[in-house]
Amino acid sequence: MEFNPSKCTVMNITRSKSPFLSKYTLHGQTLETVKEAKYLGVTISNDLSWNSHINQISTKAGQTLNFLKRNIPSKNQKVREFAYKSLVRPKLEYACSVWSPHTQQNTHKLEMVQRRAARWVKHDYSSYSSVTSMINSLHWRLLEHRRLDARLCMFYKIVYGLVAVPIPSYVIPPRRLSRNLHSLSFQPLHTVNNYYKYAFYPATIVLWNSLPLDMVQIPTLDHFKDALQNYNYIKP
């Protein structure tokens, strides 16, 4: 396989305050060093935060929502809702099992797009109207909860071999079961670094362990998804 140097970049990820930086060349061309890069549609930053990625997708989703407002004259609620779910929400959720944010600022930034969409769908811009009530009447789940659903569904597929992603060697059952753990629990991955603590496996294992045993034993993915729709997430 031949690599095109103009499409390759170098990103240095380190905790060192004085890192030793090197230049890399490919086919005689020095590769550009960047602080962030897009990989398969997800923007990865050298500080391992998702701030830049969330800024980009919330902006693009907002622009798409504004486009719909300008070009869909119909006030039919079902038409507007279908447009939002088809063209806006996917931009806010693409690959979210990987980059799901943990900070209130980033979570709020994404939820605000949906709240603006709810006003448009309901055609209600009154300052006296509750957007939360609009979202509840539309039966929309919080985007935060939908991202937790996505992570748990991916973990379910990994555990039951429904996807070609092997369980890592460090994801193991606990040495001893406590009253708070079910028989399909995994040993939590402890860390003090937020960029790892809220990564896929450490964060999802905590969620998985908190589910009731009868949920994690559901035999099909579709039924597992249905069960998550009625599950109330409790913040620690």
Residue 236 clears pLDDT 60, i.e. is over it: no
The single residue listed with the structure tokens 């905790």 is 15
Q: How far apart are CA 14 and CA 169, in angstroms?
A: 24
**pLDDT tens across 30-68, in order?**
888 899 999 899 999 988 899 999 999 999 999 999 999
pLDDT for residue 20: 81
CA distances from 168 to 63, 99, 186, 189, 202 (A): 39, 19, 12, 12, 12
| Angle in degrees, 0-180, between the axes of helices 104-122 and 143-159, rounded to the nearest 10 | 110
In degrees, to the nearest 5, what angle opens at C-alpha 195 toward C-alphas 190 and 196?
30
Q: Strand, coil or helix: what is 98?
A: helix
Residue 26 clears pLDDT 90, i.e. is over it: no
| Higher local confidence (pLDDT), 205 or 3 | 205
**pLDDT tens across 174-210, in order?**
888 777 788 899 999 988 888 889 999 999 999 999 9
pLDDT, the chain, mean: 92
DSSP type of residue 84: I
Q: What is the percentage of the chain residues whose pLDDT exceeds 70?
A: 99
pLDDT for residue 235: 61
The answer to whether the CB of 104 falls within 8 A of the CB of 207 is no
pLDDT for residue 208: 95
Q: Strand, coil or helix: what is 142?
A: coil
Single pTM value for the model: 0.87
**pLDDT tens across 76-133, in order?**
999 999 999 999 999 999 999 999 999 999 999 999 999 999 999 999 999 999 999 9
